Structure 1
Amino acid sequence: MRLPIPEMFVGSGPQLLAVLSGTINVVSDGMQYGWTAPSIPLLRSQDSPVKITHSNEIWLEILYLIGGLVGLPISIAFIDVIGRKMTVWISSIIGICGWICIGAGNNVYYLYAGRFLLGITADIAFTASPVYISEIAHQKIRGFLAGLIYLMMLVGIIVIYSIGPWIPIYASAIVGSSLLLVQLIIFPFMPESPYFLIYVNKDKEAEKALKRLRQDKNVSEELNEIKKAVERQKTETGRPQDLFLIKSNRKAATIMMLLNITQHISGVSILIMNLHTILHDAGSDLISPDISAVMFPVLMFISATTATFLVDRCGRKILLTSSGIITTITLLVLAVYFHLKLLGFPTHLYNWVPLAAVMVYAAGVKFGLGIVPIVITAELFPAKVKGMGMAFSDMMYLLSSIISLYLYPWMNQALGIHISFYVFSFFCILCTVMISFYVPETKGKTLEEIQMILKDVGEGKKIQDTRM
């Protein structure tokens, strides 16, 4: 007996295939995001092919993020000029060059170059891929497909955590570059975004792409809706300052700033890059650090997968707020545990608490805060400034990540690790409250309806009412 296919997946096969092939580079990025955790211990070892210092370790983390910042203008230039699909494809070429530097390097400067190039790849991928997905996806499945970006990144983290501690650095580089090579081969056969094709006056190609994506020969109604949306959005200027001068764009930019800052002020990058140290400082030795490191992204993956299926059913806001509350509680638990340990409380009797808190954190943060922003990002900005909007969003993501990674060791040394987690928990709940009041619900709405909501003229509701 065949199980029934959920309604949201009926006729969505071509969209799913295009998204999966278009996010292979995100798996490679996930490997690079978590690369320092298993690789730095290998580089510290006596038989390491590359000798590093503590200063080198810091730069290996930071250069990846600096590469992301350098990738911002590239993203802006490419995404609206050569197209969403070609931008993703080019990012894979840059990524392969980065992995080659890491795999073939015999001194730390090769590693620097590799991390920098892969940071550029990550920025381009995380700017172009969400735009591509939002513009090829039907609204009934758009949230699910957009959420696949984070799932693919988590797959990459799981891969590097699973193989990194036990194989040479060059071997993990071979795995990462092989993934990108697969994308270089298969992604050119996927359709381009119908929105972009109409934007560059290729209406026949847009119709052909839409028919292929929808598995339907009659796409005239949806095609006309896209044309009207693009025509209206073309009347809006596409200057960088329009992100802040136009009310709807300013609101979208503010929302994305809030969501991206919340992600990192809740400590997601800190825990991913310092998990071994945090568990060691907590005295949690129930499970070896290598196994804990694998469990952490696995729980993230399970939670993010669940959220991906729920984002188009429950909505974006409920996932964000529930995730924020869970994340706040787990950060507060860690803060209290470290505080009690500092005061001399016999915390060794409860050394399972930090491990449990970290694992609940992994599930909680990826249930909403870690996945919904990538879904919302590509929905909020109109076509004319979408590339700049995505780049701005990515810039805030990178800057907040760099700031959090810089402040964390400083606060630990100057104030104590418990203060760090108290600070993170306070700002996490503060931002969660702001999200609950300020972020609009975009579930089930077309990109055009979302623009009307952001313009705050009541038209979004009117459009929706006429379709009921």
Structure 2
Amino acid sequence: MEKQCGKSIFSGTFTQLLASVSGSLFAISDGMTYGWTAPMLPYLVSEESHIKTTKEEVEWLETILMVGSFCGLPTTIYLVDKIGRRKSLLLAALASLVGWIIIGIANNMIYLYVVRFMFGMIGNMSFVSMPMYIAEIAESKIRGFLASIVYLQMLVGFVIVYSVGPYLPFYTTPVVGAVVLIFELLIFWWVPESPYYLLFKNKPDEARTSLQYFRPGKDVEIELKEITRAIERQKSEKGRIQDIILVKSNRKAILIMTVLNGGQHIVAISVILMNLHVILNSAGSIYMDSAHAGIVFSVIMLISAKVASFQVDKYGRKALLLVSTVLTGFCLLSIAIYFNLKLTYYDVRSVSWIPIVSVMIYACTFKLGLGIVPIVITAEIFPAKMKAMGMTIADAMYVIGAIISVQLYIWLESAYGMHVPFYVFSIGSFSIAIFIVYYVPETKGKTLEEIQLLLKGEKYVPSHKSDPLLTADI
């Protein structure tokens, strides 16, 4: 029965799968980039390092990635519409390839700073371009599955960098990253631009050819006309930037996404991903070394994210968010208490398993809700005419939250000790849980029109569900 179901879902979608998998290989490289500092910071400040540097200098490698991502927002918005989704992805892959080559041969911190800044800009471009590309090529029956590939590939990148970084020479990680990107360039080069974008640029013949590629053996004329009508409607519904603030539903949507996107970092995800080995080394556990712990941590995140992608429509967005933030808060609190006891010279050897267990549970609980649900809600909570603008602002909040959390950790850890930032992050997690209870609506099973009325505080009348105008994507 399952085989038959699987066959009916994926039948005739090979070209869509090929485009989605090959085009999202950058996410493996991006995951490696994001987690690269965890195994590399201990090496760079050690006596064996081929680059002479200091602890203060290497800490900027974390922040500069986020700064690059923030600075890349205007470039991303321009290129995605100017040269298209496919060319933006190819350009980002080529630039990333050059970046890994530079890291592999770098003998000075300046090179690492420049490349990390560039990686931030590139990652931003890729993570905006690819979801748009997938949405525009995919059939509705597998759109959700294809969209999840990007984030699962990113977690594969974490598994790779945590597995390779601590054990093999410095240049090994750049070589792996470069090979992944070469495969993307070789395969994705032959994949066409999305038919949606080609029609938007008034190229109907190229759009027809593209749609025929993604719908092999099918008559595409009806779908082509539907896409054309959708584009004409959206061109007539250009949203004003001030409507983000002036319209109540948009204002509430921005607040929700600011808290959820920024909140992912206020609960320390960037801090832990970038400093996992340093944190566990400081904990002094006798049960598992930090290198092995990093591998287990990344694998748990990957499995948890996969499970969450199947459960978000079953249990709802709000329930997963609430469970995730509360459990994550307790994990962070446990780590904080452990480091607090260690600072007071309490003999923690018998309980040195606490940081490792807490970090592993954290990997599971974070990706179960807070690490994946905001991605789903972002696409639901903004009306069509404000979606691009709203998602860009939401992405900016994500980057700002990352910068704040990393800098907060560096300052508090240096000034007061490892326990203080984790107390702050645990308080942040519980605070977000309270916000979710009272302010985040449940969007499971609701049409986009219902969600907009919910945000506006208006009552939805079920009898109108038969009206096509009511259930349309506004």
The one-character-per-residue Cα deviations of 1:238-262 (angstroms, maximum 9, x if unpaired) are 5544443445544443332122111
Q: Which residue of structure 2 lines up, in the alignment, with residue 146 of structure 1?
A: 147
The one-character-per-residue Cα deviations of 1:101-138 (angstroms, maximum 9, x if unpaired) are 21222222111121121111111111212222233334
Q: Distance in 1 between matches of 2:223 and 2:61?
A: 47
1:326 aligns with 2:339: no
Q: Which residue of structure 1 lines up, in the alignment, with residue 410 of structure 2?
A: 409
Q: Which residue of structure 1 lines up, in the alignment, with residue 295 of structure 2?
A: 294
1:269 aligns with 2:298: no
Question: What is the TM-score of this pair, normalised by structure 1?
Answer: 0.88
List aligned pairs for 1:447-462, cutoff 5 A.
Answer: none
Q: Distance in 2 between matches of 1:224 and 1:284?
A: 62
CA contact (8 A) 1:248 1:451 kept: yes
CA contact (8 A) 1:140 1:312 kept: no
Deviation at 1:422, TM superposition (A): 2.6
Q: Which residue of structure 1 lines up, in the alignment, with residue 191 of structure 2?
A: 190
Q: Which residue of structure 2 lines up, in the alignment, with residue 431 of structure 1?
A: 432
Flag the 1:59–1:343 CA change in 2: closer, same or farther, 3 A.
closer
Q: Distance in 2 between matches of 1:414 and 1:30?
A: 30
For structure 1, list consecutive stretches of 5 or more residues without a partner in the other structure: none
* Matched residue type, 1:71: G
1:113 aligns with 2:130: no
RMSD (Å) for aligned C-alpha atoms: 3.1
CA contact (8 A) 1:131 1:386 kept: no
Q: Distance in 2 between matches of 1:464 and 1:216?
A: 34
Q: Distance in 1 between matches of 2:420 and 2:140?
A: 43
CA contact (8 A) 1:282 1:351 kept: yes
* Matched residue type, 1:332: L
CA contact (8 A) 2:38 2:278 kept: no
Q: Which residue of structure 2 lines up, in the alignment, with residue 230 of structure 1?
A: 231
Q: Distance in 2 between matches of 1:198 and 1:248?
A: 30
Deviation at 1:446, TM superposition (A): 7.2
Q: Distance in 1 between matches of 2:464 and 2:104?
A: 54
Deviation at 1:12, TM superposition (A): 4.0
The alignment partner of 2:189 has SS state of: helix
The alignment partner of 1:169 has SS state of: coil
Flag the 1:333–1:138 CA change in 2: closer, same or farther, 3 A.
farther
Q: Distance in 1 between matches of 2:464 and 2:196?
A: 20
For structure 2, list consecutive stretches of 5 or more residues without a partner in the other structure: none
Count, aligned residues: 468
Q: Which residue of structure 2 lines up, in the alignment, with residue 350 of structure 1?
A: 351
The alignment partner of 1:409 has SS state of: helix
Flag the 1:45–1:131 CA change in 2: closer, same or farther, 3 A.
same
Worse overlay, 176-185 or 358-367: 176-185
Q: Distance in 2 between matches of 1:136 and 1:459?
A: 32
Flag the 1:125–1:227 CA change in 2: closer, same or farther, 3 A.
same
Flag the 1:75–1:444 CA change in 2: closer, same or farther, 3 A.
farther
Q: Distance in 2 between matches of 1:378 and 1:304?
A: 18
Q: Which residue of structure 1 lines up, in the alignment, with residue 282 of structure 2?
A: 281
CA contact (8 A) 2:45 2:55 kept: no
The alignment partner of 2:370 has SS state of: coil
Flag the 1:164–1:251 CA change in 2: closer, same or farther, 3 A.
same
Flag the 1:453–1:235 CA change in 2: closer, same or farther, 3 A.
farther
Q: Which residue of structure 2 lines up, in the alignment, with residue 26 of structure 1?
A: 27
Deviation at 1:11, TM superposition (A): 4.5
Q: Distance in 2 between matches of 1:137 and 1:248?
A: 29
* Matched residue type, 2:233: R
Q: Distance in 1 between matches of 2:465 and 2:320?
A: 23
Deviation at 1:452, TM superposition (A): 7.2
* Matched residue type, 1:182: F
Q: Which residue of structure 2 lines up, in the alignment, with residue 162 of structure 1?
A: 163
Question: What is the TM-score of this pair, normalised by structure 2?
Answer: 0.87
* Matched residue type, 1:217: K
CA contact (8 A) 2:44 2:53 kept: yes
Q: Distance in 2 between matches of 1:288 and 1:140?
A: 44
The one-character-per-residue Cα deviations of 1:130-152 (angstroms, maximum 9, x if unpaired) are 22223333444333322222211
Q: Distance in 1 between matches of 2:383 and 2:191?
A: 23
Flag the 1:188–1:454 CA change in 2: closer, same or farther, 3 A.
farther
